Each structure stands twice: as C-alpha cells, then as structure tokens.
Amino acid sequence: MIKGKVGGEIYEMKDTLGAKLGPSKRDPNGLWHNHFLVIKDGRAYDAFTGSGGMELDAYHQQWDYWQYIRLDWRPDLG
C-alpha cells in the first residue's frame, strides 16, 4: 500500500453531487464513484502516480471535473 511506503494521510475522492468522478487524463474510460489517494507534503500518491507522487495542483488537473470533487480524510483506513 502506498501509505506504508511514503506515509501521509489517506483521502477518498467523491463527486460533490453524487455523480461519477468522470474520466481522468490517465484513464479516459474511468467512471468511478470514488477513488483513494495519499497526500503528504503537498504531493498526491495513487496507483497512477506511483511512488514518486505528483504535486497536488498537477494532480487536480488530471481530473476533468475537479471542481465537483471533494476530498474526505479517511483516518479509519490508515
């Protein structure tokens, strides 16, 4: 698990309107209802970014509908 390698906090991404997250730049066919990532020191880590992570601002740009996405801190998963 990424958190075990880099530390940080686990967040769950959801659409604020309850819709699907929509496609991302790295998965144009992806239509998930949620997605998990780790955030540490202003960087996002997930299966797409790998162990190097990605600056959080650049990570936001990977999602076509970022303006409708919220991040929920999930301490129960860490």
- Domain region containing 16: 2-70
Q: What is the pLDDT of residue 56?
A: 94
> What is the rounded CA–CA span in Å between residue 37 and residue 19?
19
Task: Tell me, yes or no, whether 11 lies in a domain.
Answer: yes
78 inside domain: no
66 in a structural domain: yes
76 falls within a domain: no
pTM of the model: 0.85
Query: In this predicted model, what pLDDT tens digit does every residue of 27-70 receive, in sequence order?
Result: 888 778 899 999 999 999 998 897 899 999 999 888 888 888 99
β partners of residue 54: 44
How far is residue 25's CA from residue 46's CA, in Å, rounded to a whole number? 14
**What's the total number of domains in the chain?**
1
Please report whether residue 34 resides in a domain: yes
Under the banding of pLDDT at 50, 70 and 90, the label for residue 19 is: confident
